Amino acid sequence: MDQLIQTLIIGLANGLIFALVALGYTLVYGIIELINFAHGDVFMIGSVISYGLIAPKSSGGLGIFEITSGTPAPLMVIQILAVLVITVGLTALLNVAIERVAYRPLRNAPKLAPLISAIGMSFVLQNIGLIFAGPNQRTIDNIFPTTNLLSYFGINSVQLTVSQVFVGVVTVPLLFALTWFVAKTRQGRAMRATAQDPATAGLMGVDVNRTIAITFLIGGALAGAAGVVQILYNNVTVWNLGFRFGLNSFTAAVLGGIGNLKGAVLGALILGQVNALSDRYLQANWTNALVFAVLIAILVFRPTGLLGQQLADRA
């Protein structure tokens, strides 16, 4: 029982990181019906940037915001915030640039063209990561105290670490902020309108190009935040991290119903648990196969996902 709860906690932390990336897929698919293949790699670039900012010069980083487990807590918070802001800004701009260069010129082209363009962009980003981070895995030391927070409540059989709480502290507000943005603001309404019908939205005075650019901006920002969280939580990054992580997140988005924000979060939380449970109770080397099997099963039996809208002709 304790083991199961422990696994569920790990799965929740995984799922929250998946959710940030999955939202990027679902936002972009919702608005221009493109599987943004390069999105996982934007996440990877985010984790490489934050690695560069955090890691000391001695291990190949820039050491600008060198954080170690010895850094005093207030300073650490400020530094993490600075890393978050810089990384999020850079990946957001990167994602806008990607849209401008690779997808906007192909907006009226056949659907195959932007998908292949996205695959090309994915390769380009992976190689940029390869140039900056090298071919091997890059690791940082765990900066958070390893004390079990639950031991304060007298529970020692299940572990809840500071790093897991950190994942929640960063991701949950972002998820709520995004939901609020899309549901309540003028720009969010423009996004929903463009997603429904770009031509009509344009006639109603929505600047479609700007709205799509902002969608990519938000997606890139969330991916960057996920990158920071992932390097601080898992302490490791590598140039091809984005491919599998991206496919996991895309699976999550499809599971929840692609184009549906709440669905993406729900799908990500479920997929995080699937990953954790499979790692724990099956074998870790079957986890990826299981995730793909889930993806295929959903697409084949319920292409609209758990919460999806009617997208019959799209599937």
Partner 1 sequence: MTASTIGTGPGAWFRHIGSTVAGLGQAYRAGLRDRPKRTVALSVLVAVLLLYPYVAHTWLAAFSRNVFPLPLPDDTVETFMTIFAIMAIGLNIVAGFAGLLDLGYVAFYAIGAYVAAFLASPHWATLGLNFIFLGNVDQGTPGVHLPFWIVVPVAVIVVATFGALLGAPTLRLRGDYLAIVTLGFGEIVPLVFKNLSQVTLSVVLGPLKISMDRVDLTGGVQGINPIDSPFLPFLNIKFDARAGFLPVYLGIFLLLIAVLVARNLEHSRIGRAWMAIREDETAAEMMGVNTVRTKLLAFALGASFAGIAGAYQASYLGATTSDFFDFSTSILVLIMIILGGIGNIWGVIMGAITLVFVNSTLLPYIGQQVQNYAPSLPNPAQYNFLILGVTLLLMMRFRPQGFLPSRQREAELTAHGLAHVEAEMGVPLDMDNTSVAPPGQSETGMDARAPETPDEARDL
Q: In the bound complex, what is the minimum distance in angstroms from residue 114's beta carbon to partner 1? A: 7
Residue 250 in contact with partner 1, rule: CB under 8 A: yes
Q: In the bound complex, what is the minimum distance in angstroms from residue 108's beta carbon to partner 1? A: 5
Q: In the bound complex, what is the minimum distance in angstroms from residue 250's beta carbon to partner 1? A: 7
Q: In the bound complex, what is the minimum distance in angstroms from residue 249's beta carbon to partner 1? A: 13
**Secondary structure (3-state) at 124:** helix
Whether the CB-CB separation of 248 and 271 falls below 8 Å is answered with yes
Q: In the bound complex, what is the minimum distance in angstroms from residue 303's beta carbon to partner 1? A: 6
Of 13 and 48, nearer to partner 1 (C-beta) is: 48
Residue 281 in contact with partner 1, rule: CB under 8 A: no
Tell me, letter by letter, the H, E, C secondary structure of 159-226. Answer: CCCHHHHHHHHHHHHHHHHHHHHHHHCHHHHHHHHHHHCHHHHHHCCCCHHHHHHHHHHHHHHHHHHH
Interacting residue with partner 1 among 50, 122, 159, 163 (CB under 8 A):
122
| Binding pattern for the stretch 20-39 against partner 1, x by CB under 8 A and - elsewhere | -------------xxx----
| Binding pattern for the stretch 71-110 against partner 1, x by CB under 8 A and - elsewhere | ------------------------------xx--xx-xxx
Residue 243 in contact with partner 1, rule: CB under 8 A: yes
**Secondary structure (3-state) at 237:** strand
76-93 burial, b if ≥16 CB within 10 A, otherwise e? beebbeebbebbbebbbe
DSSP 28-51: HHHHH----TTHHHHHHHHHHHHH
Separation in Å, CA 20 to CA 27, 44, 115, 224, 282 = 11, 13, 22, 9, 26
Residue 115 in contact with partner 1, rule: CB under 8 A: yes
Residue 194 in contact with partner 1, rule: CB under 8 A: no
Residue 307 in contact with partner 1, rule: CB under 8 A: no
User: Residue 237: what are its φ and ψ, rounded to 5°?
Assistant: -145, 160
Interaction site with partner 1 (CB under 8 A):
33-35, 101-102, 105-106, 108-117, 119-124, 126-128, 130-131, 197-199, 243, 247, 250, 254, 283, 285-286, 288-289, 292-293, 295-296, 299-300, 303, 313-315
